[in-house]
Amino acid sequence: MNKLASILLIIATCVLVTSCRKSGCTNPNAVNYNASAKVDDGSCICLTASGPTPYSLVIPATFQRFLPAPVFPADNPMTVEGVALGKKLFFDKRLSDDLTLACASCHLPSQAFDDTNRFSVGINGIAGTRNAMPLFNHAWNLTGKFFWDGRAIGLEEQALEPITNPIEMHDTWVNVASKVNADATYRTMFTNAFGSVPIDSNLITKALAQYERTLISGNSKFDRYLLRQVNLTPSELNGFGLYMDESGADCFHCHGDATNPLWTDNLFHNNGLDASFTDKGLGDVTGNPVDDGKFKTPSLRNLVYTAPYMHDGRFKTLDEVLDHYSDSLVQSPTISPLLKNVANGGVRLTPQEKADLKAFLLTLTDSSFVSGY
């Protein structure tokens, strides 16, 4: 056998072996069954005959102890199929006009579903005017108000805006629904989750909301401390004492205490950032001047991952945040009455007190939440 014939024989053998081991869906009951596939690649999509499967949230022990059970919209119950569909949509760049941006592009799992940019950047490279809020524990947002200014009522409504926002994903819902409907896998997943109804913005946002309600962070060192599984250091304990002391750091009025594992009241406050407001926050939504400069209280969980801080991302570090409340509060007509030390510029913490308070705040870090996604 000459050299050329040997080479051709090797190539033919490789092709034969490859074809014999072709991967795909090997389940004959699946809608995407591939009769020529020899190795199942996990891509099988099967229609559910009995309807969607109810989904049970995994609720942390401290949440079970201190919080009511989450309440879901009657027209959007949690299902296994709906959550799986919502997760696929959350990471799909086809939801943006130029196919370059997904929800996860600004809500990074590695950053507790937050953005590392001061201002989130849309598909055309245009930056917005606010820092993206992190996504976790929203199933317990009993006020139902979302965004820094509270303009959306419910997670379903919250998911509507970024798609059509001209400086975010800059598409139309008709176009997005068309792109999703063109995908056979999506059509099957929507049928499994919602039945045989047209794919539209209503169903897409319902699926996204279901997935976002599964993003639960409740396994920090402080959670384990409350469950008597670990001890806090003297510095962390001192920091918690300062946090709870009206004559100390006085943080608990807005961010809650050990009986509120959300570490936010989900309400809106003017926290002394500015004397006047270019961005009026809640005031732009309500039109009421008494709401000018009020923004939603963010959770104190996972501060390690959620920098930069404040609605406009003005503070790069947690130390800058502590300096603001200690020494740099600014008076204005709508300043929160909870900031009782604004006349003195803040609560006037010593360097050691700042270090202790920071040590406590870092005990609210849930690294398992980040690594789990």
User: 3-state secondary structure string, the chain?
Assistant: CCHHHHHHHHHHHHHHHHHHCCEECCCCCCCCCCCCCCEECCCCCCCCCCCCCECCCCCCHHHHHHCCCCCCCCCCCCEHHHHHHHHHHHCCHHHCCCCCCCHHHHCEHHHCCECCCCCCECCCCCECCCCCCCCCCHHHCCCCEECCCCCEECHHHHCCHHHHCCCCCCCCHHHHHHHHHCCHHHHHHHHHHHCCCCCCHHHHHHHHHHHHHCCCCCCCHHHHHHCCCCCCCHHHHHHHHHHHCCCCCCCHHHHCCCCCCCCCCCCEECCCCCCCCCCCEHHHHHCCHHHCCEEECCCCCCCCCCCCECCCCCECCHHHHHHHHHHCCCCCCCCCCCCCCHHHCCCCCCHHHHHHHHHHHHCCCCHHHHHCC
The pLDDT of residue 13 is: 46
Domain spanning 221-371 has what CATH number? 1.10.760.10
Domain boundaries, the chain: 3-40, 61-213, 221-371
Instruction: Pick 61-213's CATH classification: 3.30.428.10, 3.20.20.80, 1.10.760.10, 3.30.1650.10.
Output: 1.10.760.10
- What is the mean pLDDT for each group of 10 consecutive residues in the chain (373 residues)? 49 42 69 72 61 95 97 96 98 97 96 95 92 96 96 96 95 97 97 96 98 98 98 98 97 97 98 97 98 98 98 98 98 97 97 98 97 80
The pLDDT of residue 21 is: 60
The pLDDT of residue 12 is: 45
> Does the pTM exceed 0.75?
yes
